[in-house]
């Protein structure tokens, strides 16, 4: 009976050791971040933006938040461009409703970005190469003709004269071409250099050792001469 028990414990020990060895985590080398994380890719005829989200409990939420963040950046850039477009209402005279058209056109373009943009790529930074571990990055792009058409549709709903609508379309196309050129400059710019490591403080100088006391001379008061 004792021999059987010892045999069972020995087998259990072997199984336990083999199980621990089988579940040992492997250290995998971190994958290289995609190029679009550091520099927007060349998308002819598209406007793109990069979005980021910090780590979340569920990975799907992290990716969704990164895409929403990219859409927010893209929507803001497009809305700013639309606000800078010169909208000449009423064929040369600025009507009292031009500001409403501008605001509604900007909102319509923003809605178009939120609903019409597409996620081109996503990346999960598992090893924290660009930020905290398990952060998410998303690349979102849109055809600029979509927000332009949305703006034109909004003008037509306002019964704006066709001549003015066409002028707005031309101004919008020129504005988005300018935005694409600005993106191209960002793409061609070299990536920023990493910050230099902080300089180590110079070691503090140690105080010089105090000189050793000199031995008293034979004629000093401490050692009076003998009268012998």
**Structure confidence at residue 135 (pLDDT):** 95
**Structure confidence at residue 211 (pLDDT):** 65
- Is the pTM higher than 0.85? The answer reads no
CA 7 to chain centre: 59
For residues 91 and 164, the answer to whether their CB atoms sit within 8 Å is: yes
In the beta sheet, which residues pair with residue 124?
Answer: 136
Of residues 205 and 78, more confidently modeled: 78
Q: Tell me the percentage of the chain whose pLDDT exceeds 70.
A: 56
CA distance 219 to 199: 57
Q: Give the pairing of strands 47-53 and 118-125.
A: unpaired
For residues 151 and 113, the answer to whether their CB atoms sit within 8 Å is: no
For residues 169 and 148, the answer to whether their CB atoms sit within 8 Å is: yes
97-156: pLDDT as tens digits: 456 666 666 677 778 888 889 999 999 999 999 899 999 999 999 998 888 888 888 878
Residues 6+ apart with CB under 8 A from 67: 51, 119, 122, 138, 140
Residues 6+ apart with CB under 8 A from 161: 90, 91
For residues 147 and 104, the answer to whether their CB atoms sit within 8 Å is: no
Delineate the domains of the chain, giving CATH numbers in brackets: 45-183 (3.10.129)
- CA angle 158–161–167, rounded 5-degree value: 105
- CA angle 39–56–31, rounded 5-degree value: 45
- CA angle 61–114–41, rounded 5-degree value: 80
197-213: pLDDT as tens digits: 556 666 666 666 666 66
Which range in 40-44, 107-111, 132-136, 191-195 is most confidently predicted, on average pLDDT?
Answer: 132-136
Angle between helices 59-84 and 145-157 (to 10 degrees): 60
């Amino acid at each position: 009976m004792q021999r059987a028990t010892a045999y069972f414990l020995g087998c259990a020990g072997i199984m336990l050791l083999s199980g621990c060895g089988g579940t040992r985590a492997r250290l995998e080398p971190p994958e290289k971040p995609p190029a679009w994380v550091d520099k927007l890719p060349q998308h002819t005829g598209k406007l793109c933006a990069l979005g980021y989200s910090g780590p979340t409990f569920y990975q799907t939420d992290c990716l969704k938040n990164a895409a929403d963040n990219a859409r927010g950046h893209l929507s803001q850039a497009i809305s700013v461009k639309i606000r800078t477009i010169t909208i000449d209402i009423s064929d040369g005279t600025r009507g009292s409703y031009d500001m409403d058209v501008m605001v509604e056109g900007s909102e319509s373009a923003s809605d178009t970005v939120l609903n019409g943009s597409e996620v081109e790529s996503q990346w999960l930074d598992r090893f924290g190469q660009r930020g905290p571990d398990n952060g998410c990055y998303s690349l979102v792009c849109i055809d600029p003709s979509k927000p332009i058409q949305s703006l034109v549709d909004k003008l037509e709903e306002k019964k704006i004269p066709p001549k003015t609508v066409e002028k707005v379309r031309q101004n919008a196309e020129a504005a988005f071409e300018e935005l694409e050129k600005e993106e191209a400059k960002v793409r061609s710019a070299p990536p920023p250099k990493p910050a230099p490591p902080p300089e180590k403080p110079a070691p503090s100088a140690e105080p010089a050792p105090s000189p050793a006391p000199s031995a008293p001379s034979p004629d000093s008061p401490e050692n009076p001469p003998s009268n012998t």
